[in-house]
C-alpha cells in the first residue's frame, strides 16, 4: 500500500521534473537550450508549468539594446507568463495562474503606500531570476493571479499570458493618468501593448486618437472602436499636431486636458509626445528606450501639465484586468499570435525588425 502523503508526492514530483530553458548566454547571440533539475523550493515558492510567455520590448532591450539584467548570464528571459502550478504551496496546486511581471515583497514602505510595482525588493522573472521562455519556472506564490474557469471557456491559458504585461501595464498607467469619461486620449504606437492601451482608454469612456506608422495596426484599432487614427510616417511634428487638432475637433473631443500615452519606446515617439502637450495635459511614458530626448521642461510649467512614468503594474490590480476580459469588455484573441518556443531565435529577430503586428506568445514545445 502506498502511504506517501500529499507533501511527499509533491516533493517527489519536484525531484523528477526537468526544467528546459532557452537561455541568453550572450547579448545579441542565439538563445541556447539548456536543461536542469528543479531546484529545491523555498518556503512560499511554487513551480509553474509554463503555458505561454509573451515577447516584450524589455526582452529585446536585454537581448539587443545593451540593457543589463540583474541576474548574471546565462539567463532565461521572459516575464509575461501564464501557466499551471504543479508543485509547492498546496493551496495553489493545479491552479491556472498569471504571474505578475513585477513581484513585490508586500512588506516595504513603497508596498504599503500602494506603490508595490516599484518595490525595491521586487523580483522580476527573466531579470532577477530565470523567466518564462522555459518548460517551468520557480516563482513566489504570494501575488500569483488565479484565472477563472469562465475566462478559460473563451481563451486558452497561453493567450492569457499577455495579461502579465501587455495589458496590465497600460491598465495601470491609464488609472494613474486620471483619465476621465469624455477626455481625449492620444495613444502613440498601437502595437502589442499600445492597442490594449487604446482599447482600455476607450472602455474608460474617453475619445481616442491612435497614432502609428503602420496602416495595418491603425486599421485594427479603427475596426475595434478607436475614434480616429493617423499615420504619422514622414510627417513633421508641427503637421502632426495640426492634424491631431483637426481630428479632435471632428470627434468632438476637448481642446485641453489631453491624456497622451507614449508607448513606442522610441526617441521619435517621445519627442512627439512631449510636443503634443497642451493646457492641463498629462503625458505618460510607457515605452522604454536608452536614447535621450532633448525637451524644454518649462512647457510643463507654461501648460500646467504633468509628466509621469510607469513601471509594470501593481500585482493588486491584476484581478481588475482579468475582470475586463471575463466580462467581455476587452477582447484579446485577435491581438495575439502563438509561436512554438523552439522558434525563439527567429521570433526575436523578426520582432526586432518589426515584422509582427500582434503580440507574440511562445508556447513550450520541448517534447
* Integer Cα distance of 197 and 334 in angstroms: 15
* Structure confidence at residue 211 (pLDDT): 98
Pair 133, 16 in one domain: yes
| Mean pLDDT of each 10-residue bin along the chain, 367 residues long | 41 67 96 94 96 96 93 98 96 97 96 96 97 98 96 97 97 96 97 95 98 96 97 97 98 98 96 98 94 96 97 95 96 95 97 92 87
* Structure confidence at residue 8 (pLDDT): 36
Final residue before a domain boundary, out of 309, 329, 353:
309
Pair 117, 258 in one domain: no
Pair 151, 75 in one domain: yes
Q: Has residue 1 been placed in a domain? A: no
pTM of the model: 0.91
Residue 287 belongs to what domain range?
168-309
User: Do 227 and 244 meet the contact criterion of CB atoms below 8 Å apart?
Assistant: no
Pair 230, 287 in one domain: yes
Pair 182, 267 in one domain: yes
User: Do 261 and 309 meet the contact criterion of CB atoms below 8 Å apart?
Assistant: no
Pair 153, 16 in one domain: yes
* Integer Cα distance of 71 and 81 in angstroms: 18
* Integer Cα distance of 92 and 217 in angstroms: 38
* Structure confidence at residue 357 (pLDDT): 85
* Structure confidence at residue 366 (pLDDT): 77
Pair 160, 27 in one domain: yes
Pair 250, 155 in one domain: no
CATH of the domain at 105: 3.90.180.10
* Integer Cα distance of 345 and 349 in angstroms: 6
CATH of the domain at 271: 3.40.50.720
**Rg of the Cα trace of the chain?**
21
Pair 245, 343 in one domain: no
Pair 112, 128 in one domain: yes
* Structure confidence at residue 15 (pLDDT): 52
Amino acid at each position: 500500500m502506498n502511504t506517501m502523503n500529499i507533501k511527499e508526492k509533491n516533493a517527489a514530483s519536484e525531484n523528477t521534473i526537468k526544467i528546459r530553458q532557452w537561455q541568453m548566454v550572450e547579448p545579441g547571440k542565439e538563445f541556447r537550450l539548456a536543461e536542469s533539475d528543479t531546484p529545491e523550493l523555498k518556503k512560499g515558492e511554487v513551480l509553474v508549468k509554463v503555458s505561454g510567455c509573451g515577447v516584450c520590448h524589455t526582452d529585446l532591450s536585454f537581448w539587443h539594446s545593451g540593457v543589463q539584467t540583474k541576474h548574471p548570464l546565462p539567463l532565461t528571459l521572459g516575464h509575461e507568463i501564464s501557466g499551471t502550478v504543479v508543485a509547492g504551496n498546496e493551496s495553489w496546486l493545479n491552479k491556472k495562474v498569471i504571474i505578475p511581471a513585477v513581484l513585490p515583497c508586500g512588506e516595504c514602505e513603497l508596498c504599503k503606500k500602494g506603490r508595490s510595482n516599484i518595490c525595491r525588493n521586487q523580483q522580476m522573472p527573466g531579470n532577477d531570476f530565470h523567466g518564462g521562455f522555459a518548460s517551468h519556472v520557480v516563482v513566489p506564490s504570494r501575488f500569483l493571479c488565479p484565472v477563472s474557469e469562465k475566462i478559460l471557456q473563451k481563451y486558452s491559458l497561453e493567450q492569457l499570458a499577455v495579461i502579465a504585461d501587455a495589458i496590465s501595464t497600460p491598465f495601470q498607467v491609464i488609472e494613474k493618468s486620471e483619465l476621465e469619461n469624455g477626455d481625449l486620449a492620444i495613444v502613440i504606437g498601437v502595437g502589442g501593448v499600445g492597442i490594449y492601451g487604446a482599447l482600455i482608454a476607450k472602455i474608460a469612456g474617453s475619445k481616442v486618437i491612435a497614432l502609428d506608422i503602420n496602416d495595418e495596426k491603425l486599421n485594427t484599432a479603427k475596426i475595434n472602436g478607436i475614434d480616429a487614427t493617423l499615420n504619422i510616417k514622414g510627417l513633421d511634428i508641427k503637421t502632426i499636431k495640426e492634424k491631431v487638432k483637426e481630428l479632435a475637433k471632428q470627434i468632438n473631443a476637448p481642446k485641453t486636458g489631453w491624456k497622451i500615452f507614449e508607448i513606442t519606446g522610441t526617441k521619435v515617439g517621445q519627442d512627439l509626445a512631449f510636443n503634443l502637450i497642451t493646457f492641463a495635459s498629462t503625458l505618460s511614458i510607457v515605452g522604454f528606450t536608452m536614447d535621450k530626448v532633448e525637451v524644454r521642461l518649462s512647457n510643463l510649467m507654461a501648460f500646467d501639465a504633468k509628466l509621469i512614468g510607469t513601471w509594470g503594474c501593481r500585482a493588486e490590480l491584476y484581478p481588475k484586468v482579468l475582470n475586463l476580459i471575463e466580462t467581455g469588455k476587452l477582447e484579446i484573441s485577435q491581438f495575439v499570435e502563438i509561436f512554438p518556443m523552439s522558434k525563439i531565435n527567429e521570433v526575436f529577430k523578426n520582432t526586432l525588425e518589426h515584422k509582427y503586428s500582434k503580440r507574440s506568445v511562445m508556447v513550450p514545445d520541448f517534447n
